[in-house]
Structure 1
Amino acid sequence: MSEKKEIATFAGGCFWCMVKPFDEQPGIEKVVSGYTGGHTENPTYEEVCSETTGHREAVQITFQPDVFPYEKLLELFWQQIDPTDAGGQFADRGSSYRAAIFYHNEKQKELAEESKKRLEKSGIFKAPIVTDILKAEPFYEAEDYHQGFYKKNTAHYQRYRIGSGREGFINQHWGAK
């Protein structure tokens, strides 16, 4: 088996909810919560939430493409978000919660654009797909208390996932897993 590793970066609203779906897959080495896409170096959570940094909450995934290909990551990403929402994700509003795929090379860009077109044509969503596909920029790791939040604060995580509307939306569009 190859030990080849790649990086994928996705913004899907609150990063707490973006870790678990990827963390549980074979070939995923690690999933880190953080901030990317903005102009402030080493931003804090409070700065990002203030909507002044230009950053989005995101996850950076180190994966083995021979075990879990980038195409499968994209498929899983689309199933975690509302790709028709340009104002944030679920209960979280503002630019720091806007969904995006941050590509690290031309192949990722091409695959992301193809996956977006497939989703648009699928008819799953009636509104246009507005999720951005952007060149990866520096990624800043979030504070320790945000890392692996679903494991550290299971009950809070579950309440948030349901209360934000994410869980219901995913079940409605993709079925309960």
Structure 2
Amino acid sequence: MIKNKLALAVAIVGALGMTGAQGAETATAIFAGGCFWSIESDFDHAPGVISTTSGYIGGHVDNPSYEQVVTETTGHREAVKIVYDPTVTSYDKLVDTFFHLIDPIETRGQFCDYGESYTTAIYAGTDAELKVAEAGKEATAAALGKPVATIVAMAPTFWPAEDYHQDFWKGSEMLQNGLTRAQHYARYRVGCGKNGQVEAIWGKDAFKGLDGHA
């Protein structure tokens, strides 16, 4: 039944010919999966992804700053807006990949980051995308045998984060701690334990859909 629901939802997206499209050649997807540095890094390794933008979504403050969001008083989540080529990948594939690079059952945040801003969500741009995301959530719950904490909702305004957060994982700028942004991110990724926890949850399917681990 779950597979049938997912197939039907995917068929609806295909029949409508739109997946949050910005134009004839690109489409968008928005995922909140904990620290946006990591989600951006992950999806930069996904075939068909053209660009990624870190930002904030879901809160009650317009154009919030990082300093505001981390107080956990604005209601925002850290998220990544993805522009992709629908002739190379698809919305349902990106949804499936997303679930395989997070801890879907965690309610408090992700890995070493806790608070509402680090909780997981999929923000759909169309009713068809919403159905695909809901079907993906059901399939994930069935695969893990546990309830999935990830919220599925229509997308409110996405606010791009500050420039210094964009492409943080590969930045060459030197920080005050004597490390480049890329070096700082690599240390954070290991210290936060994301790779190990995702692999413990998903086994050989961890980071499914990526061109190697980020």
User: TM (normalized to structure 2)?
Assistant: 0.77
Instruction: Give me the whole-angstrom Cα distance separating, in 1, the residues matched to 2:109 and 2:57.
Output: 15
Pairing partner for 2:191 from 147, 155, 163? 163
SS at match of 2:29: strand
Q: Which residue of 2 aligns with 1:136?
A: 155
Q: Once the two structures are superposed, what CA deviation does each residue of 1:124-157 show, in whole Å capped at 9, x if it has no partner?
A: x353211100110101110111100111122211
Instruction: Give me the whole-angstrom Cα distance separating, in 2, the residues matched to 1:174 and 1:39.
Output: 38
AA at the equivalent of 1:6: A
Q: Which residue of 2 aligns with 1:57?
A: 78
Q: Which residue of 1 aligns with 2:135?
A: 114
Structure 1, 4-13 or 166-175: larger mean CA deviation: 166-175
Q: CA deviation at 1:163?
A: 1.1
Q: Which residue of 2 aligns with 1:101?
A: 122
Q: CA deviation at 1:64?
A: 1.5
1:82-97 matched pairs, under 5 angstroms: 82-97=103-118
AA at the equivalent of 1:164: C
Structure 2: segments with no counterpart, 5+ residues = 1-22, 172-180, 207-212
Instruction: Give me the whole-angstrom Cα distance separating, in 2, the residues matched to 1:54 and 1:96.
Output: 7
Q: Once the two structures are superposed, what CA deviation does each residue of 1:92-121 show, in whole Å capped at 9, x if it has no partner?
A: 111011100001001110100111111111
Q: CA deviation at 1:49?
A: 0.3
Q: Which residue of 2 aligns with 1:174?
A: 203
- How many residue pairs get aligned? The number is 174
The alignment's C-alpha RMSD in Å is 1.5
Instruction: Give me the whole-angstrom Cα distance separating, in 2, the residues matched to 1:160 and 1:38.
Output: 26
User: TM (normalized to structure 1)?
Assistant: 0.93
Q: Once the two structures are superposed, what CA deviation does each residue of 1:43-83 show, in whole Å capped at 9, x if it has no partner?
A: 00010000111100000001121211011111110111111
Q: Which residue of 2 aligns with 1:31?
A: 52
Instruction: Give me the whole-angstrom Cα distance separating, in 2, the residues matched to 1:75 and 1:162.
Output: 24
Structure 1, 25-34 or 134-143: larger mean CA deviation: 25-34
AA at the equivalent of 1:115: G
Q: CA deviation at 1:25?
A: 2.5
Conserved 8 A contact 1:33-1:141: yes
Structure 1: segments with no counterpart, 5+ residues = none
- State the percentage of identical aligned residues: 43
Q: Which runs of 4+ in 1 moved over 6 A?
A: none
Pairing partner for 2:98 from 50, 59, 77? 77
- Whether 1:127 and 2:154 are equivalent positions in the alignment is no
Instruction: Give me the whole-angstrom Cα distance separating, in 1, the residues matched to 2:142 and 2:64.
Output: 37
